[in-house]
Amino acid sequence: MAEPEFRATGVRIGKRLRSLTRAGQVRISDGRLELLTSYGSEIDSAPVQAVRASRPWFGPDGRATADLNGNRYLLTLGDHDPAPGEPGPPAARHFIEAVRRAAGRGD
């Protein structure tokens, strides 16, 4: 298996008002976006070309939305990138940029 193009751990993943996991994982690998629980179980996945990622209109900087298979997920990533060697999720804008790059929609 190839090295993931994007990987974030410690991500809060929610669907509408329901929290699915508080320490989930987001991974882009081999042209697919995967949302995983903290135990590695798949919540949802889709080809990255079929995913729409954006920032919510209102809310803190560390949030992003991802539309997969007709479901909208709210992802709470970091407000800013962690310091080198420090744990923590990357900034939400890096997730959005990674989805667009992997889908070939912008550099």
Q: What is the pLDDT of residue 78?
A: 73
Sign (positive/negative) of CA torsion 53, 99, 45, 11? negative
Give tens-digit pLDDT for 38-95: 999 999 999 999 999 999 888 777 899 999 999 999 999 876 666 677 766 678 888 9
Which residue ranges form the domains of the chain, and what is each CATH number? 6-104 (2.30.29.30)
Model pTM? 0.85
Instruction: Mention every residue, 6+ apart, whose C-beta is less than 8 A from residue 65.
Output: 53, 54, 55, 56, 72, 73, 74, 75
| Residues 107 and 25: beta-carbon distance below 8 Å | no
Q: What is the pLDDT of residue 104?
A: 87
